[in-house]
Structure 1
Amino acid sequence: MTQSPQTVTPVSPGSESRPRRPGRLRAALRRIATPSLLIGVGLVVLTSLFGIIGPFFVADPLAISSGGMQPPSAEHWLGTTQTGQDVVAQLAWATRGSLTVGLIVATLALLLSAFFGVLGGYLGGWVDELFSLFTNVVLILPGLPLMIVIGSYVEQRGLLLISLILAITSWAAAARVLRSQTLSIRNRDYVQAARVAGEKPHRIISVEILPNLLPVMSSGFVFALITAILGEAGLSFIGLGVYGTQTWGSMLFYAQNAQALTLGGWWWFVPPGAMIALLGCGLSLINFSIDGIINPRLRTAPKAARNLRKAEQAADERSSRPDDGSSDRRSTSSKEAVA
């Protein structure tokens, strides 16, 4: 009986089905996109959208209605102030003002910390010593009392001036961190190779050092943003804030002067306080996520702790569970030994 020959089709190397591996970008996003980061970004985005888009859809925050200290209603969603101004309109414009101050301060603080920290750490020598001395002097100065003293001596406190005062007192800590990281990076092989190749210092700093400092600089920017918003709210709450600009701190200041807490007007002071808390929570979650990206130990610590707890629970279950088979074997062996 003859068998028909089997035809074998050649398979080209490119036509074989190979499992597709996720790209590096997708894997990095999966590793970075933690729940805390997503929640933090969501809170910050919602707050920012309210401050950017909200003023276009609300009434004039200075317009006075018929009645003052009215509770929330269909006409005024968050009630009115003592003089009859709409709280929602004031909150929208105050959100924009506080975010503007925070972004200006965070940007100035980032530039100052990068200049003194990165430049001093890379150049070394007397430049590093001089920059470190100046940074340490600024760092030991008390921030809030210094802002109060400067703000009390300045009569026309505009938005840029208050932002400059806040930036002066909030860059030194980030500069020390950037300096220590720069001291570690400048002795690495690729930086030494760039020096040997004749690259100029400004190109080495901008191409070789700064890209490796982006996570640290991002964390410093977020922390400076939180500090600026809280500092501005503190200055405005005591009457030393920005003139002519609505902020969360100014809303709290006017609510305090009008004794809104005593009169039961919670709708006047709770919304700005809640906005400060929500934005601060969102920025803090983002900052914690950035710290986890910078330091892998913080990212793997929760997983290691969960594994340790599971191992301890399994050990406790094994120790508490009676071993019937072993006890029967021990009793049988003892009887045979006696016999």
Structure 2
Amino acid sequence: MSLTDPTPTASTTAGNPTVQVPEPPVSGRLAHGGFVHGILTHKKALFGLAVLAVFALLALLAPVLAPGNPSDFGPEASMAPSASHLLGTTSKGQDVLALTLWGSRSSLTVGFIVGLAATFIGCLVGIASAYFGKAMDEVLSLLTNIFLLIPGLPLLVVLAAFLPPGPATVVVVLVITGWAGSARVLRSQALSLRSKDFVAASVVTGERAWRIMFREILPNMASIVMSTLLGCVIYGIGAQAGLEFLGLGDTGSVSWGTNLYWANNDGALMTGEWWVLLPSGVAIAVVAFALAMINYAVDEITNPRLRAEKRG
């Protein structure tokens, strides 16, 4: 009997016929406890979470590990890594380790804010477009297609060039250019759930539209929303670094992107000062790799086909 079949079934227990009353229809949403248990026992997820925890801890402890202003010039310029400066110094005498630690605060903050904001807008637009349909779907789909058709990098450059520099500007620019892709993916998933029986039952019982969208449809999209969020965070960290490397951010602030900008501006590669350029680039790559590992783990935990292939 299917989960949505209201017909009771008869069974025999100790010679006496009994009637099994079917449980109410379920929406098929992933059990919260099972998902958390899967994440905490998955090797890829544990690796990614451990790496993120280390970077988050280093970012929080930056004022303790590297007190003072990391942008201050020092007398020891262009020093290779040594006991006194573990990652060396720049051509201006700045400690590279301090720049990397303090830069993680800005880069991680901007990345996660952009990821959360872009995913929220994508969920709102995608689910509303799929649920209401008709004119609402056409308008929101047209808006999404416009942002998808506009080349991302030129739009980033134009917006960043005309808005005042600063972390808030970077966040706004990246959210404006990053929500459309997630909205398209989430709309496709929401369309498949819109025709399910549990959604129809909620409509018949008179549930409000916002409740159906965010209490019935959205929880069943937990895995794809999680994957979208992780992808948007990776996009936020990488795009911020790219903008600031081009000089379109606030070059007076300290982030992984501005560290790369000043290293390139000072000719670190031409002078052989690889230690100035390498730490920030490696940090971006490692954090993106950790987020990708968590994303792969989420896919394997929530996708029955991937779980079956892994067991096989």
TM-score tier by shorter-chain length is 0.7 to 0.9
C-alpha distance in 2, partners of 1:120/1:244? 41
Which residue in the other structure is 1:16 paired with? none
Structure 2 stretches of 5 or more lacking a match? 1-30
AA at the equivalent of 2:96? V
CA distance in 1, matches of 2:38, 2:109: 31
Shift of 1:25: 7.7
Greater Cα offset, 139-148 or 276-285: 139-148
Report what 2:44 is aligned to. Answer: 36
Aligned to 1:75: 84
Structure 2 matches for 1:157-172, cutoff 5 A? Answer: 157-172=165-180
Deviations 1:6-57 (Å, cap 9, x if unpaired)? xxxxxxxxxxxxxxxxxx8876555443211111111111112111222332
- Structure 1 Cα separation of the partners of residues 251 and 279 of structure 2: 21
Code of the aligned partner of 2:258: S
SS at match of 1:199: coil
CA offsets per residue over residues 219-239 of structure 1, 9 Å max, x none?
Answer: 111100001111111111111
Q: Equivalent residue for 1:273?
A: 281
Instruction: Structure 1: give runs of 5+ residues left out of the alignment.
Output: 1-23, 305-339
SS in 2 for 1:233: helix
Cα deviation, 1:191-221, whole Å, max 9, x if unaligned, reads 1111111111111112111211222111111
Correspondence for 1:201: 209
Distance 1:173 1:205 in 2: 20
* Cα contact 1:159–1:243 (8 A) shared by 2: no
Whether the 8 Å contact between 1:139 and 1:173 is mirrored in structure 2 is yes
Q: CA separation in 1, counterparts of 2:123 and 2:205?
A: 25
CA pair 87-113 structure 1, distance change in 2 beyond 3 A: same
Q: Which runs of 4+ in 1 moved over 3 A?
A: 24-32
Aligned counterparts of 1:101 and 1:25: Cα–Cα separation in 2 = 28
Counterpart-to-counterpart distance in 2, 1:107 and 1:123: 24
Q: CA-atom RMSD, angstroms?
A: 1.7
Q: Which amino acid aligns with 2:216?
A: E
TM-score using structure 2 length: 0.85
1:291 aligns with 2:262: no
Q: Give 1:300-319 correspondences, 5 Å limit.
A: 300-304=308-312
Instruction: Tell me which of 245, 251, 266 is aligned to 1:258.
Output: 266
Matched, 1:190 2:163: no
Higher helix proportion (structure 1 or 2): 1
Q: How many equivalent residue pairs?
A: 280
Contact residue 64 and residue 83 of structure 1 kept, 8 A: yes
Q: Would you say the 8 A contact 1:144–1:231 is kept in 2?
A: no
Q: Deviations over 1:144-190 (max 9, x none)?
A: 12111222233x21111111111111111111111111111122122
Task: Give, in whole Å, the separation in 1 of the partners of 2:168 and 2:53.
Answer: 24
Give the counterpart of 1:146 among 143, 150, 155.
155
In the superposition, the TM-score normalised over structure 1's length comes to 0.78
1:212-227 matches, within 5 Å, as: 212-227=220-235
CA distance 1:298–1:271, shift in 2 (3 Å): same
The letter of the residue matching 2:288 is G
Is 1:238 the equivalent of 2:246?
yes
* Amino acid corresponding to residue 138 of structure 2 in structure 1: E
Report SS of the residue matched to 2:81.
coil
Matched residues in 2 for 1:133 and 1:225: separation? 25
Partner-residue secondary structure (3-state), 2:270: helix
Verify the 8 A CA contact 1:110 1:220 in the aligned structure 2. yes
Deviation of the 1:273 alpha carbon: 0.9
Cα distance 1:30–1:109, how it changes in 2: closer, same or farther (>3 A)? closer
Asked if the contact 2:251/2:258 (under 8 Å) is kept, the reply is: no
Identity %: 39
- What letter corresponds to residue 64 of structure 2 in structure 1? F
Higher-RCO chain (CA-CA 8 Å, sequence separation at least 6): 2
Aligned counterpart in structure 2 of residue 86 of structure 1, from 69, 78, 95: 95
